[in-house]
Amino acid sequence: MNKKGKIYVVGIGPGKKADMTFKAYEAMEKSDVIVGYKTYTDLIKEYFPNTEIKSSSMMKEVDRCIEVLELAKSGKNVALISSGDAGVYGMAGIMYEVIDENDDVEIEVIPGITATNAAAAIVGAPIMHDYVTISLSNLLTDWELIKKRIELAAQGDFIISLYNPKSKGRTTQIVEAQKIMLKHKSKDTPVAIVRNAGRETEEYEITTLEKMLDSEINMLTIVLIGNSNTFVKKGKIVTPRGYEKKYEY
């Protein structure tokens, strides 16, 4: 009987080696093949020049997982990579959906720094309290449901992190999202616009909920909207936990 390989579903964080966990790097290092969306394989290929790398385009997620499963069945150890964390809008869930109950192949999910975490660190400490992440992409989720989630998160005074806020063909969702949030949040609520977090072209802007649409926003942007206590200090965004109210120093 042929020995089965193993599947590592790896979150590579923003993509630089310094932002990967040791465990993530080691999983890719001991894999026979690394598989991923081309944008992500391009980020890591310099670190593994002797490893076979298979790249595919966006919208090929299911095909990618099927290919990974077949490679593992043939006896190869395979790293299926996602940017950020593989379990947050990543490949982990799809991989588990594709594999059959009877497939004798082990899957290990290895976490990574999420886009929200990377963006938050760049702009200070904006997610120090309860927060939610919401993707504005309606390719896989009905837009009415997404709007409901934004509404409830804004009503609950959550810090909100928006993924996939705007693309060339999808420009109205971020406008609607702003309108919904302005119903429940102050127009002066601090907002961070972070593009290409953790990559060479990283840049960010600190603005307000009222003025956030004046900034450049695209698919590589994370938009962080504060809660009612969030403030700006020394050019960074801070959401307090309330320690000073409870403790004396």
List the single range of 157-161, 207-211, 244-248 with lowest mean pLDDT: 244-248
Confidence class for position 91, pLDDT limits 50, 70, 90? very high
> Is pTM beyond 0.85 here?
yes
Q: Mind listing the pLDDT tens digit for each residue in 150-205?
A: 999 999 999 999 999 999 989 999 999 999 999 999 999 999 999 999 998 999 99
Q: What percent of the chain has pLDDT over 90?
A: 89
Q: Mind listing the pLDDT tens digit for each residue in 224-245?
A: 999 999 999 999 999 999 876 6
The pLDDT of residue 59 is 79
Strand order in the sheet with 106-110: 52-56, 33-37, 78-82, 6-11, 106-110
Token pair 């790293």 is at which residue? 79
